[in-house]
Structure 1
Amino acid sequence: MAFGYKRIFAALDGASTQRAVMERAIALAEEEHAELTFGHVIDSVPYEASGVDFELLCNEGKIRIETDLADLLEKARNNADIPSVQLIVRAGRITDTLQKQLIEPTEPDLVICGERGLSNIKYVFVGSVSTYLIRNVRCDVLVVKQD
C-alpha cells in the first residue's frame, strides 16, 4: 500500500532504536520509491565554550555512522527502488538544527525518528525530540518505539 511519499527523512540519534529507524526508513523508501535522507545532529552545547572545530566534528561523526551502519547504508544505496540516498551530519542545538538545517531543506513528506525513552524527570527538563518533531514539522512523523 503506497502513501505517496516522495522524500523520506530519517533522524539518527545514536540511541538503541537507530538501526530500527534505518530499517523502517529503507523499507518505506523502497515501497514508496522515495528519496531517502538520513540525518544526524551532534549536540553543540557541550562544546560551545571549548572552541572545537565543528566541521571536523561533523566529518568524524559522519565517518562513524558510515562505519557503524555500513550494512544498512549499503543496502539502501544498492536498492534500485530508492532513487537517492544521502547522509547529512550537522552540529548545533538538536531540535533547531534538526528542523531548520536538515528537515526543512530536504522537504520530506515523512520524517522517521526513534523514541529515546527518557525518564519522566528528564522528559520534563529536556523534552523529547520525537514530541518536538510531531508538533513542529509540516509532514507525517513516524516514531519507532523501543523494544
Structure 2
Amino acid sequence: MLQNYRKIMVAVDGSSEAELAFQKAMNVAMRNDAELLLAHVIDTRAFQSVSSFDGVLAEQATEMAKQTLEGYKKQAKEHGCEKVSSVIEYGSPKPLIAKQLPQDQEVDLIMLGATGLNAVERLFIGSVSEYVIRNAACDVLVVRTDLDNKIPVNQDED
C-alpha cells in the first residue's frame, strides 16, 4: 500500500524558493487527494527593533500576507486543488513551521523552499529549512528545483 498524505503544509513568504515549493506542493496535494495548507509566518522579532512601533507595521505585514495567500489560493484552485486553506501566524518562523502549525493543523508533510541565505548568514542564524528538517515530527520535503527538476537559473550558488 502506498503512503498517502492527508494534509500538506507549504510555507510561503513570497520568495522564489517558496514559489518553487508551492508549485510542487500543489502537484503532491493533487496526487494524494490531500488538503493543501498555505502557511505564512510574520516574524514579529523584526518589529522589536522599531522604537516607534505602533501597530501600523504589523497591520501592513498582515495585509500583504493576506494578499499573498489569496493569490496562492486562487492559483491552487485554478490548478485543480480543491481543498486549499491558509493560515497566518505571528512569531518566530522556525518553531511555528516545524512544530506548532503541524501539530495544531494535523499536518503530515511540510514542504518548503531551500534557504536563500548565504553560507555566512546560515552560520550565524541558521536557516528555517534546516531547523524544520531537524525538529519536525512529520515528513519534510525541501524543494530546490522547478517542476522539471532543474535548478532555476536565477538562483545564486552558495
Counterpart check, 1:105 vs 2:73: no
Cα shift at 1:79? 5.9
- In 2, are the aligned partners of 1:6 and 1:109 still within 8 Å (CA)? yes
Decide which moves more: 31-40 or 85-94: 85-94
Contact 1:54/1:91, CA 8 A, preserved across alignment: no
After superposition, the Cα gap between the structure-2 partners of 1:9 and 1:103, relative to the gap in structure 1 and judged at 3 Å, is: same
User: 8 Å contact 1:30–1:79 — kept in the other structure?
Assistant: no
Deviation at 1:5, TM superposition (A): 0.6
Gaps of 5+ in 1: none
TM-score (norm 1): 0.82
Assess if the C-alpha contact under 8 Å between 1:58 and 1:89 holds in 2. no
Could you tell me which amino acid in structure 1 is paired with residue 55 of structure 2? V
Cα RMSD for the two superposed structures = 2.5
SS for the counterpart of 1:10 is: strand
Which 5+ residue runs of structure 2 have no aligned equivalent?
A: 146-151, 153-158
Give the one of 50, 55, 64 matched to 2:67: 64
Instruction: Tell me the amino acid that sits aligned with residue 10 of structure 1.
Output: V
Deviations, residues 48-78 of structure 1 (Å, cap 9, x unaligned)? 25242686345313333046xx2x4224235
- Contact conserved, 2:40 with 2:87, CA < 8 A, in 1? yes
Among 52, 55, 58, which residue is 1:52 paired with?
Answer: 55
Q: Which runs of 4+ in 1 moved over 4 A?
A: none
Q: Does 1:115 align with 2:114?
A: yes
Give the AA of the match of 2:5.
Y
CA 64–79 in structure 1, closer or farther in 2 if over 3 Å, else same: closer
Per-residue CA deviation, residues 95-138 of structure 1 (Å, 9 max, x unaligned), is 12333442221121110000123211100111011111111111
What is the rounded CA distance, in whole Å, between the counterparts of 1:76 and 1:15 in structure 2? 17
Identity %: 31
